[in-house]
Structure 1
Amino acid sequence: MKSLIVYGSKYGFTGECAGILAKKISGKVDVINLEKEKVNNLNQYDNIIIGTSIYAGRIRKVVGKFCNENLDTLLTKRIGLFICCGQTEKAEEQLDMAYPEELKRHALAREHLGYEFNFNKMGFIDKKVVKMIAKIKENKREILEDNIDKLASFFN
């Protein structure tokens, strides 16, 4: 089976999680950052896993656009969905809001893979928003390896 992991990431953490996930899925796995590349041919893939970071309750625009533009094709594939968000207690709610309803119903698996607050990478506004919403004042990260393993298991 051939798998594709597509994602959108502002500061790179979601891409890091996508890379870890790719190593845990057997067979050929392509990983594409939608912020930098376009997907040429979805039909060549059996499995498609879509990931996005969540900032202030919003997904990356490129991920929303990808889902909407390719919904008909995606509904013919084995689908996995993931998010990376810092409000772990709201992860399920964030997952529900992140993706189109049809895609969520069709997905084999949905997981929250972790979060990172890296003030060294953030711009001034993002720092202010994170401090206000997440009440975080220092760098913090958590990769949820068990959730990555769970997600990978659906595609192995």
Structure 2
Amino acid sequence: MKTLIIYSSSHGTTEKAAQILSEQLQGEVELINLKRLSNPKLTNYDSVIIGSSIYAGSAKSRVKQFLKQNQPELLSKGLGLFLCCMFEGDKALSQFETTYSKELRNHSRANGLFGGEFLISKMNFLERQIVKKVAGVTSDVSQLNLNEIRLFAEKFNQANPC
């Protein structure tokens, strides 16, 4: 089985989560950052996993554009969806539902909320000021949930055996 993980990341958290996930999946796995390749071809892959971060309250525009352009083909593949965000519970679930259409969520074999990070050290001045005001955070904070990534990989592997 050949799986493609497509993601977009502002400061590297979603990229980190995608890399950790890729190491736990069965079969051949390739990662593509939509910053570098905005519309990769899906024809050579059995499965596709899409990941986004929440930035300024919304999913990355590159991910939203990719989903819009490729939804019919995504619905013909084994699919997994994940989101990196600092919210938990209902608020995180609401962001997930806003990012991914109901049709994609229902088709997906594994859905994940992987937590997130505020990487103050990688933010510009304006970003730091916003995070300080909104979240009260003034230094790097990681809430990346490695257990959720592992559970997602297990579920995805069971649904997509090699």
Q: If the length of structure 1 is used for normalisation, what is the TM-score?
A: 0.94
User: Residue type of the partner of 1:67?
Assistant: L
Cα shift readout 1:74-116 (whole Å, capped 9, x = no counterpart): 0011111111111224211111111122211211121111211
Distance 1:117 1:111 in 2: 19
> How far is 1:39 from its partner?
4.5
Bigger drift between 14-23 and 141-150 goes to 141-150
2:39 touches 2:66 (CA, 8 Å); kept in 1? no
What does residue 106 of structure 2 align with?
105
What does residue 43 of structure 1 align with?
43
What does residue 141 of structure 1 align with?
142
Identity of aligned residues (%): 38
What does residue 83 of structure 1 align with?
83
What does residue 28 of structure 1 align with?
28
Distance 2:24 2:46 in 1: 16
Distance 1:99 1:5 in 2: 15
Distance 1:3 1:80 in 2: 10
What does residue 65 of structure 1 align with?
65
Bigger drift between 122-131 and 69-78 goes to 122-131
SS at structure 1 position matched to 2:14: helix
User: Residue type of the partner of 2:32?
Assistant: I
- The runs of 5 or more residues in structure 2 that have no matched partner are 158-162
Cα shift readout 1:124-147 (whole Å, capped 9, x = no counterpart): 121122122222222100221111
Structure 1 stretches of at least 4 aligned residues deviating more than 3 Å after TM superposition: none
- The runs of 5 or more residues in structure 1 that have no matched partner are none
Count of aligned pairs between the two proteins: 156
> How far is 1:57 from its partner?
1.8
Distance 1:128 1:155 in 2: 38
2:14 matched to 1:14? Answer: yes
Cα shift readout 1:23-81 (whole Å, capped 9, x = no counterpart): 00011000000011245420211111100010232011110011000000000111111
Summarize the Cα distance change of 1:150–1:136 in structure 2 as closer, same or farther, 3 Å threshold: same
Taking only aligned residues, the RMSD between alpha carbons, in angstroms, comes to: 1.3
Distance 1:87 1:132 in 2: 16
More strand by share: 1
User: Residue type of the partner of 2:56?
Assistant: A
